[in-house]
Amino acid sequence: MSSAQAAAPPIIRVRGLQKIYRLGDVDVPALRGVDLDVPRGEFLAVIGPSGSGKSTLFHILGGLAPPTSGEISIDGADLRRMSENERTAMRQKKIGFVFQKYNLLPTLTARDNIALAQSLAGVTAPPPGFEQILELLGIRQRLDHRPRALSGGEQQRVAIARALVNQPAILLADEPTGNLDTANSNAVLEILRDLNNRTGQTILMITHNPEAAAFADRTVAMRDGRMAAL
Amino acid sequence: MINKLVIENLRHRWVRTLLCALVVGVQVMSILTLIGLSRGMLQDSANRAKGTGADIFLKPDTQGTFSFSSGQIDEKFEPFVAKQPHVAQALGVLITPVELITTISGVNVAPFEKMSGGFHFFAGGAPSAPDDIVVDNYYAQQHKLRVGSTVKLLNHAWRVSGIMRSGILGHLIVQLSSLQRLTGNATPPRVSEILVKLDDPARTTQTVDQLNALLKGNLRAISMTDLQSQFSVSNIPELRAFIGVITTLAVVVGFLVVFLSMYTAVIERTREIGILKALGAKPLTILDILVREAIVLAIAGCVIGILLSFASKALITGLMPSSLRVIDVPDWWPYAAAIALGGALLGAIYPGFKAARQDAIEALAYE
């Protein structure tokens, strides 16, 4: 991360973020006051055990769930003030998701999975330089295959391409190597690292694996719904 | 892209898609066949009435146009009508049902041949003996009859004297006196209707008015033109109601089939709905996808239904050519399509809203 990046306002700014789920008559706090700044262009890893709240943080940062309280700003937009429709629009244009289970639509080819993300954002053509990203991901020859004909590593690389096609401000990756063997895990992590280096793409990666976290610029830890020391 | 997703979704679950479209197709076929059958039967009746050569029909004053209760008119009206101005010929006809929807007609053969222009025989000739019967080619085909064959109707064995071309009065024609005797209409001799031929068909309206004034309370005169115009579905309330019931059933069946298909599709695709939402699909986009799927199913069902209606027509015509007549009703294709589409859209609404309301995180966690 350069000094200019450090001086610019963070692309993700979280203060006192709380999320409480209500299960029957019981309140279950998932986040108990999270503070986090992510500078633009940073590759950040969030590690923590199961139940630490990192997936809840992922969902809130991605606009999939509203916070209960606290301040949260994504690329200058106040997430707490956003309506459901505005959060949907933010997901279309500012956030790219990469999931542990790839989450490609099984009925569409890799190419169409990518095109669908564009179509939902109202974009008709891939951005300039997207061919190079496909080259970097090594999936150009596999674009006309459906997910069932692709290996796990290939599916995850297609999912990364899909997440990047709308040039999002932030790439959110939730355990992107959780379903992959070591070789494919390393390949995917190398790609994320390379992507961050070459394009300055901000990446926030959730993982429970310290080895995966080691590919990031910085690692923060979560425990019991709070940021914790590493 | 959304259209591609819709088509790929339907292709991916092709068995369910095919079954769903097939059931919608059967509902479309039911409607088209019913309408085609109703119109075909009425058109056949109209053609056979026209084939008598009569300009005016006289029926009992209290009877509906399409009622054929046998023997309600005293045959003595026949010479009385024949004497009226401009009446060239009056002829009593006795019509009695013999099967579900088939009737047998009794006529005085020579005068009837004079009025109608004569039978066109494929084989044999007119009934000359009391037990002789003439059948038309459809009835002969359906019952595998030939000249000389015996056919039992009204508990009586008839000998086929001739096979005529269909289109005159009825499928079965016998001597009037024989039918009157067999149906208890011989003493006093009674008929079902009186056919009237005029010396000048241009005077039909005037003569109808005169006859109605003269025979008020006994008989009602109706011109062939009016009779023809009344041979339509809209003039038969019972048939209209029946078509209404079948159409309603078709909508309900279409609704249930598409509802079930879409409902299971929504549950099966919960995770995919979550993916779409994560990618930024609005609830309306999700609803739109399911509605488009329903529309494709309905359109496919319509095409299948129209093709099936040709098959059902061929089947019905092949099996029961004399009893049931079906015609193609292309003017009803849009209505049948609209009914199928309506049912399908109704069926897609609830599953569509269920999908649109799906929580993205829960959907993504769905296994």
CB–CB contact B8 A97 (8 Å)? no
| Separation in Å, CA of B264 to nearest CA in chain A | 17
Cβ of B1 and A59 within 8 Å? Answer: no
Report how many domains make up chain A. Answer: 1
* Residue found under tokens 């995180």: B361
pLDDT of residue B63: 57
How many Å apart are CA B221 and CA B193, to the nearest integer?
10
- The Cα of A6 is separated from the nearest Cα of chain B by a number of Å equal to 30
Contacts of A3 (CB under 8 A, 6+ apart): none
Residue A216 — pLDDT band, cuts 50, 70, 90? very high
Instruction: Note whether B261 and B193 are same-domain residues.
Output: no
Residues B29 and B80 in one domain: no
Given B190, B217, B244, the domain boundary residue is: B217
Question: Do residue B37 and residue B71 come from a single domain?
Answer: no
Confidence (pLDDT) at B365: 75
B269 touching A (Cβ < 8 Å): no
Nearest CA in chain B to A164: B279
Residue in chain B lying closest to A93 (CA): B280
Same domain, B244 and B142: no
Q: A214: distance to nearest CA of chain B, Å?
A: 27
Per-residue model confidence (pLDDT) at position B125: 92
Candidates B13, B16, B275, B286, partner chain A, best to mutate (most A CBs within 10 A): B275
The pLDDT of residue A170 = 92
A34 part of a folded domain:
no
Q: How far, CA to CA in Å, does B354 sit from each of A65, B254, B259, B287?
A: 18, 19, 12, 9
Q: Which of A11-20, A108-117, B342-351 has the lowest mean pLDDT?
A: B342-351
Structure token digits, residue B131:
């037990």
Domain residues for the domain of A59 are 41-65+86-228
Between the alpha carbon of residue B245 and those of residues B41, B252, B345, the distances in Å are: 19, 11, 20
User: Is residue A14, in this structure, part of any structural domain at all?
Assistant: no
Residue B185 lies in a domain: yes
Strand order in the sheet with A170-174: A95-98, A170-174, A202-207, A43-47, A218-223, A226-228
Indicate whether A55 pLDDT > 70. yes
Residue A120 lies in a domain: yes
Look at residue B224 and tell me if it is in a domain. Answer: no
Q: Is B293 on the interface with A (CB under 8 A)?
A: no
Residues B100, B212 within the same domain: yes
Chain B environment of A116 (Cβ under 8 Å): 1, 5, 279
CA A5 to chain B, closest CA, distance in angstroms equals: 28
Give the total number of structural domains in chain B: 2
Q: What is the pLDDT of residue B71?
A: 67
* ipTM exceeding the 0.95 mark: no
Predicted pLDDT of residue A121: 87
Residue B114 contacts by C-beta under 8 Å, 6 or more apart in sequence? B89
With CA atoms as reference, the chain A residue closest to B6 would be A107
- Burial of A47 by CB count in 10 Å (0-12 exposed, 13-18 middle, 19+ buried)? buried
In a domain, A76, yes or no: no
Judged by CB atoms within 8 Å, which residues 333-352 of B form the interface with A? none
Question: Does B188 sit behind a cis peptide bond, omega within 30 degrees of 0 on the bond before it?
Answer: yes
Assess whether B340 and B247 both reside in one domain: yes
Among A29-38, A50-59, A179-188, the range scoring the smallest mean pLDDT is A179-188
Residue B227 located in a structural domain:
no
Model confidence pLDDT, tens digit, residues A31-44: 999 999 999 999 99
A62 in Cβ contact with A91 (< 8 Å): yes
Average pLDDT over residues A46-52: 90
Tell me, yes or no, whether B147 and B265 share the same domain. Answer: no
Give the nearest partner residue to A120 out of B271, B279, B360, using CB atoms.
Answer: B279
Interface test with B, best of A101, A116, A179 (most B CBs within 10 A): A116
Among partner residues A89, A93, A103, which is closest to B275 by beta-carbon distance? A103
Which CATH number covers residue A149? 3.40.50.300
| Cβ pair B343, B254 in contact under 8 A | yes
The two tokens of residue A87 are 């959060």
The mean predicted confidence, pLDDT, of chain A is: 88
Residue B147 is which amino acid? Answer: V
Distance between CA atoms of residues B31 and B336, nearest Å:
7
In a domain, A9, yes or no: no
**DSSP state, A29?**
E
DSSP assigned state of A10: P
Q: Is residue B115 located within the same domain as residue B183? A: yes
Chain B residues with CB-CB distance to A65 below 8 A:
360-361
Which residues of A are less than 8 Å from B279 in CB distance? 91-92, 97, 116-117, 120, 162
Reply yes or no on whether the pLDDT at A3 is more than 60.
Answer: no
Secondary structure of residue A128 in the 3-state scheme: coil
With respect to residue A184, please indicate whether it lies within any of the assigned structural domains.
Answer: yes
Contact A64 B2 (CB under 8 A): no
**CA–CA separation, B95 and B57 (whole Å):** 13
CA distance A205 to A212: 9
CB contact under 8 A, B272 and A115: no
Quick one: pLDDT at residue B12? Answer: 87
Shortest alpha-carbon distance between residue B344 and chain A (Å): 23
Quick check: is A194 in a domain?
A: yes
Is the pLDDT at A6 greater than 70, yes or no?
A: no
Q: Same domain, yes or no, for B97 and B201?
A: yes
CA distances (Å), origin B155, targets A20, B99, B152, B345: 87, 12, 6, 54
The verdict on residue A78 lying in a domain is no
* Whether B101 and B147 share a structural domain: yes
Domain boundary among B164, B188, B217: B217
> How would DSSP label each residue in B187-234?
TTTEESEEEEEES-GGGHHHHHHHHHHHHTTTEEEEEHHHHHHH-SGG
Chain A residues with CB-CB distance to B under 8 A?
A: 59, 62, 64-65, 85, 88-89, 91-93, 97, 99, 103-108, 112, 115-121, 162
The pLDDT confidence band at residue A15, using thresholds 50, 70 and 90, is very high
Q: Are residues B116 and B35 in the same domain?
A: no
Q: What is the pLDDT of residue B300?
A: 93
| CB-CB under 8 Å, A62 with B279 | no
Range of B276's domain? 2-43+235-365
Instruction: Tell me how far CA of residue A25 lies from CA of A21, A29, B138, in angstroms.
Output: 10, 13, 77
Do residue A64 and residue B277 have CB atoms under 8 angstroms apart?
yes
Phi, psi of A173 (to 5 degrees): -120, 120
Contact across the interface for B8 and A112, Cβ inside 8 Å: yes
Are A116 and B1 an interchain contact pair (Cβ–Cβ within 8 Å)?
A: yes
pLDDT tens by residue, chain B, 367 residues: 889 999 998 888 899 889 889 988 988 898 898 888 888 888 888 888 888 899 999 988 765 555 555 668 888 899 999 999 999 999 999 999 887 778 899 999 999 999 999 999 999 999 999 999 999 998 998 899 999 999 999 999 999 999 999 888 889 999 999 999 999 998 889 999 999 999 999 999 999 999 999 988 889 999 988 888 877 777 677 777 887 888 788 778 877 887 887 788 778 888 888 899 888 898 889 889 988 988 998 899 999 999 999 999 999 888 877 677 888 989 989 988 888 888 888 888 888 888 888 888 878 877 6
Band of pLDDT at residue A51, cut at 50, 70 and 90: confident
The reply to whether B75 and B30 lie within a common domain is: no
Whether residue B56 is contained in a domain is answered as no
Residue B52 covered by a domain: no
Reported as a single tens digit per residue, the pLDDT across A118-157 is 998 888 888 888 888 888 888 888 999 999 999 988 998 8
**What are the tokens at B316?**
């019905």
Determine contact: B275 vs chain A, CB below 8 A: yes
Check whether A2 has a pLDDT greater than 60: no
Which residue on chain A is closest to B364 by alpha carbon? A103
**Which pLDDT score, from 0 to 100, does residue B245 have?**
84
